[in-house]
């Protein structure tokens, strides 16, 4: 496997997607990018990190959001688009993802990487889910909050991610059609899920 390849991980919050991604990267000896992308985007563009953090995996325009004017244009005729829009940040981040994918084999977590790299000849798109109980447990532990709060956070984050993905990609988030492999990490547990996915990747790249 000396040609470059890319593994794109879509994930529900609390499904262990990040962990799985990290372990896959270690397993194959390749780069891993999750929140690191924000740092890179900020450095490359010169724009402050906070903008990218605020825009991270959030769509900019919901209908209500439109009414409250979240990053919209006031005038009818738009001759020069708003530079500080989520669209700009997405473009910057997506350019970086493309550059990184060209440099070396990588694992990307979220951020519509599977859509951005849709023309990449050797990419594997995986979507990770988990049983609700496991997700709530994991999030509550990770963020040090109650299970009820964790449940709320999960619902909100999933909604934001799906809006983001559906807006910026041309596919639907969490739907089997959008990915090569969908897997529930609770079935085999994190480590064996990593094994399973690795096997899938190896066979795909033959």
Partner 1 sequence: MESKDLPIALGTEKVGKLLMQYAIPAIIAMTASSLYNITDSIFIGHGVGALAISGLALTFPLMNLAAAFGSLVGVGASTLMSVRLGQKDYDTANKILGNVFILNIILGLAYTVVVLSFLDPILYFFGASAATLPYAHQYMVVILLGNVVTHMFLGLNALLRSTGRPQKAMYTTLCSVLINVILNPLFIFVFKWGIQGSAFATVISQVVMLVWQINIFSNKKHFIHLKKGTFRLQRKIVVDSMAIGLSPFLMNAASCVIVVLINQGLIHYGGDLAVGAYGIVNRVVFLFVMIVMGINQGMQPIAGYNFGAGHYDRVTEVLKKTLFLATGVMTLGFLIGEFSPHAVASVFTTDKTLINMASEGLRIVIVFFPIVGLPMVTANFFQSIGMAGKAIFLSLTRQLIFLLPCLLILPMIFGLKGVWYSMPAADLASSVISTYLLVSQFRKFRKPVIV
In the range 82-141, which residues lie near partner 1 by CB under 8 A?
82-85, 87-88, 90-92, 94-95, 115-116
In the range 64-83, which residues lie near partner 1 by CB under 8 A?
65-83
Query: Rounded to the nearest whole angstrom, what is the least distance from the CB of residue 170 to partner 1 in the complex?
Result: 5
Residue 61 or 180: which CB sits closer to partner 1?
Answer: 61
Residue 94 or 185: which CB sits closer to partner 1?
Answer: 94
Query: Rounded to the nearest whole angstrom, what is the least distance from the CB of residue 49 to partner 1 in the complex?
Result: 10
Query: Rounded to the nearest whole angstrom, what is the least distance from the CB of residue 133 to partner 1 in the complex?
Result: 33
Applying CB under 8 A, among 2, 3, 29, 63 the residue interacting with partner 1 is 63
Mention every residue, 6+ apart, whose C-beta is less than 8 A from residue 43. none
Residue 28 or 51: which CB sits closer to partner 1?
Answer: 51
Query: Rounded to the nearest whole angstrom, what is the least distance from the CB of residue 74 to partner 1 in the complex?
Result: 6
Strands, sheet with 6-11, edge to edge from the N-terminal-most edge strand: 31-33, 106-109, 6-11, 123-129, 181-184
Please name the residue ranges forming H helices in 146-184. 147-168
Task: Report how far residue 34's alpha carbon sits from residue 22's, in angstroms, rounded to the nearest whole number.
Answer: 9
Nearest to 6 by CA among 116, 95, 90: 116
How remote is the C-alpha of 58 from its chain's centroid? 11
In the range 140-199, which residues lie near partner 1 by CB under 8 A?
166-168, 170
In the range 21-50, which residues lie near partner 1 by CB under 8 A?
45-48, 50
By rule CB under 8 A, what count of residues binds partner 1? Answer: 44
Residue 134 or 163: which CB sits closer to partner 1?
Answer: 163
Give the relative orientation of helices 17-28 and 185-204 as an angle to the nearest 10 degrees.
Answer: 40
Q: Pairing state of beta strands 31-33 and 6-11?
A: unpaired
Q: Is 203 in the site for partner 1 (CB under 8 A)?
A: no
Which pair of tokens denotes residue 130? 């988990």
Provide the strand spans (E) within the chain.
6-11, 31-33, 106-109, 123-129, 181-184
Phi then psi dihedrals of residue 62, to 5 deg: -105, 170
Q: Which residues bind partner 1 (CB under 8 A)?
A: 45-48, 50-51, 54, 61-63, 65-85, 87-88, 90-92, 94-95, 115-116, 166-168, 170
């Amino acid at each position: 496997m000396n040609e470059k390849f890319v593994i794109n991980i879509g994930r529900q919050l609390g499904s262990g997607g990040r962990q799985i991604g990290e372990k896959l990267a270690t397993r194959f000896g390749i780069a891993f990018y999750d929140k690191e992308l924000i740092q890179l985007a900020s450095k490359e563009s010169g724009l402050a990190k906070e903008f990218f953090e605020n825009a991270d995996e959030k769509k900019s325009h919901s209908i209500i959001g439109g009414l409250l004017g979240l990053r919209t244009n006031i005038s009818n005729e738009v001759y020069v688009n708003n530079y500080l829009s989520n669209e700009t940040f997405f473009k910057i981040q997506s350019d970086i993802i493309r550059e990184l994918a060209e440099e070396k084999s990588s694992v990307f977590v979220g951020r519509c990487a599977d859509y951005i790299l849709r023309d990449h000849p050797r990419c594997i798109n995986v979507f990770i889910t988990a049983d609700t109980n496991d997700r709530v447990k994991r999030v509550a532990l990770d963020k040090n909050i109650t299970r009820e709060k964790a449940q709320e956070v999960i619902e909100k984050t999933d909604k934001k991610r799906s809006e983001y993905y559906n807006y910026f990609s041309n596919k639907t988030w969490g739907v089997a059609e959008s990915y090569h492999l969908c897997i529930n990490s609770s079935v085999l547990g994190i480590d064996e899920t990593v094994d399973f996915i690795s096997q899938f990747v190896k066979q795909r790249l033959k």
